Amino acid sequence: MVSSRLVRDCVSGISFDAAHYSLVEGELLLHGHTFSVEVCVEGYLSGSWVVDFIELRKLVEKLVGDLNYTFLIPAGDAERIRIEAPFKYRRKVFDCGMITAECLGDYVCGELRKTYGEGGLRILVSVVEGVGNKAVIRC
């Protein structure tokens, strides 16, 4: 069955903990968040669904899992940051000027486009940074 109704399938409740630095009251400060991610895929019914929830959730959980407990760094600063400490840390470098919810959403969009980019589907990614701060990116 193909429907003429536009349907939006979403997965949510996916989160990761990470550190980054950003402007806080005018100063660059290192801090961390629990980031939450919601992904919606919008399209017309093809059979019984737009996308398989299970496949979408697995893909988003994999992307987000790779960010869990990482230090998120803008590409322009990657060579300047040195950490010597009695602990292990993982870092993830992003091609953006500052690590923001928008930057992270754009990264997730790019990765999801590799799977859902064809077929006329529209992807929306929401990234919640901390409490009450959310960026919504239309991929």
| Separation CA 47–CA 44 (nearest Å) | 9
Written as tens digits, the pLDDT of the chain (139 aa) is: 555 788 899 999 999 999 999 988 999 999 999 999 999 999 887 778 888 899 999 999 999 999 999 999 999 999 999 999 899 989 999 999 999 999 999 999 999 999 887 668 899 999 999 888 999 999 9
pLDDT tens, residue by residue, 107-125: 999 999 998 876 688 999 9
Contacts of residue 64, defined as CB under 8 A and 6 or more positions apart, other chains included, come to 14, 15, 16, 35, 37, 108
CATH code at position 37:
3.30.479.10
> Residue 77: exposed, middle, or buried by beta-carbon count in 10 A (0-12, 13-18, 19+)?
middle
pLDDT tens, residue by residue, 92-107: 999 999 999 999 999 9
Please tell me the total count of domains within the chain: 1
Phi, psi of 26 (to 5 degrees): 90, -5
Whole-number pLDDT of residue 3: 58
The domain containing residue 106 runs over which residues?
A: 2-138
**Distance from the Cα of residue 138 to its chain's centroid:** 12
pTM, to two decimals: 0.90
User: What SS3 string covers the chain?
Assistant: CEEEEEEEEEEEEEEEEEEEEEEECCEEEEEEEEEEEEEEEEEEEECCECCCHHHHHHHHHHHHHCCCCEEEEEHHHCCCCCCCCCCCCEEEEECCCCCCHHHHHHHHHHHHHHHHCCCCCEEEEEEEECCCCEEEEEC
